[in-house]
Structure formats: structure tokens, C-alpha cells
Amino acid sequence: MRQAPNSEAGLVSSSVAVRIEALAPAFAGRVVALAEALGLPQTGEAGFALQLGADGLQLQELGAGASGPVRVDFLEGAVAHRRQHGGGSGQMIAKAVGIQPGVRPTVLDATAGLGRDAFLLAQLGCSVTLVERNPLVGALLADGMARAVADPEVGPIIGRMHLCLGNAIDLMRNWSLEPPQVIYLDPMFPHREKSSLVKKEMRVFRPLVGADDDAAQLLQAALALATHRVVVKRPRKAPAIDGALPGYALEGKSSRYDVYARKTLKSRP
């Protein structure tokens, strides 16, 4: 998910109105600071509201027929269920990034979105750098991580996750740190009427972040930086991203992982 075309700091969306509001007076001060940081109005007509309350930061679609709010929650709900019952290192994403006995690669998740895949990889022992360039999505993710870091079980997992806000393509092209062994990409697939993108988060975020029309450039930058492999999550029947062809793919019921392998991942002594 997860890169909004042409987004810049302070610009959440160029076409969809978003306002920010406090759900209780106690949060008014923090909302003022967030409004300034994100460049959001606190009043006026809008299609969405970024709301701050006792449960943290959430994005609420407004108007008739709107579904419930979207927030990042690493402590309860689907993420907690996946952490407790998800199958561990036997999951397909774990195999795709190269997790195996004695091998926990460093991972750059260049399309972090709501952080669910990054959280899973961190749970399995990987050090994960998350990059998100849409400021609104980044704010939700940062809030979810901040609320979870004090939890005795989840806190150590969050400690292996490092959030970076910015354009992943530019960051990868100008990378100054030790290169990641694996780069993980999950670009937003262009909309189709019969698409399987039916999750609430997808319906809410699509008007705000759009499709990743620069996925080919994202892949090219990732291939130039990753030392061992690049992994791209795609809908099962979707074509590979334009550019270099993957070496192989792991296919599930609704999605697949295209793997661009460069070097064999080995256990560290």
C-alpha cells in the first residue's frame, strides 16, 4: 500500500478533503500540533476526518454509508490474532523474504502502509525499517507503534521496527546506511471493478493514496539497493511489475510473492 503519487510533507491528498478533529477536549492540544504538522484544517467540509481520542489516532470516512474508522492496532484485533495463531515462520511471506533456521535478514519494507507485514517480520525476529511517504498513513502508523511499545509482549517486537517517513524511491537512491539484505514491496494495485481489494482499509485509503503508478521505479531502486533479494507482493493473477523478471514466485489463494533473488541468505555465526 502505500505510496501516494506525488505526495509531499504536509500534503495528505491533492484531491480529497481531510480535516482533523479531537474526539474529546483533552486531545485538543495534540490535534492542533498534528494539524500544523500535517497541513490539515480543523473545520470545514471534508470526505474524511482524522480523529484523535482515547483509542489513539483513527481515520473516519464521512457521509452516508461510511464504514467504521481505520486505525493501527498492534495489540488487539486481526494483528493480535495473526501474531498468536498465524503459523510463524511457515507463513508464505516468511518464506519469501528468506526466513529459515538461523536466518533473520534485515528488511526494508518500502511500502509500509499500516505496518502489518512489517510487524509480522519483526515478530519473527527480523530488524525492519518501514518507509511510508503518505503523511496521513504515516501518522496512523506512528501512533499505533507508540501505543504498543509499552506492552510487555508486543513492545520488543516494535523495538525491531524503525519508521522512516519519506519517498521510498528517493530514500533508496540516496541510501547512506548499511544496505538491507531484503527489500519488501507491496504496491497498491491499480483499481479494477472486479478487484479483490474489498477490505475496509483499501476502500478508505484508495481515494487518499491512489495506485502506485511508479511501481516500476520503486522496483528498480529496490533492486539496486538490496544485497540479497527483493520481494514483491502481488494479486495472484496480476502481471509482474514492469522491468526485471522475478526469479520465482510463491503463490497463494489470492496473492503471490515475486522473488528477485541475488545472493543466498546464510545464517550468521
DSSP conformation class of 108: E
Residue among 100, 253, 126, 252 at smallest CA distance from 184: 126
Domain presence at residue 218: yes
- With H, G, I as helix, E, B as strand and everything else as coil, classify residue 33: helix
In a domain, 28, yes or no: no
Residue type, 108: L
What's the mean pLDDT in 70-99? 87
Residue 18 lies in a domain: no
The number of domains in the chain is: 1
pLDDT tens track for 55-66: 999 999 998 888
* Nearest-angstrom CA–CA distance, 209 and 119: 21
**Residue 50, domain member (yes or no):** no
Residue 244 located in a structural domain: yes
- Known binding-site residue numbers for S-adenosyl-L-methionine: 116-117, 132-133, 186
14 within domain boundaries: no
pLDDT on residue 79: 83
Domain of 131, CATH number, reads 3.40.50.150
* Inside any domain, residue 121: yes
pLDDT at position 198: 43
Residue 143 pLDDT level (bands cut at 50, 70, 90) = very high
Q: Which residue ranges are tagged as binding site?
A: 116-117, 132-133, 186
Mean pLDDT of all residues in 242-256 = 95
The model's pLDDT over 172-186, given as tens digits with 9 standing for 90+, comes to 999 999 999 999 999
Confidence of residue 78 (pLDDT cuts 50, 70, 90): confident
Host domain of residue 199 = 77-261
Residue 207 belongs to a domain:
yes
3-state class percentages of the chain: helix first, strand second, coil last, to nearest 5: 30, 20, 50
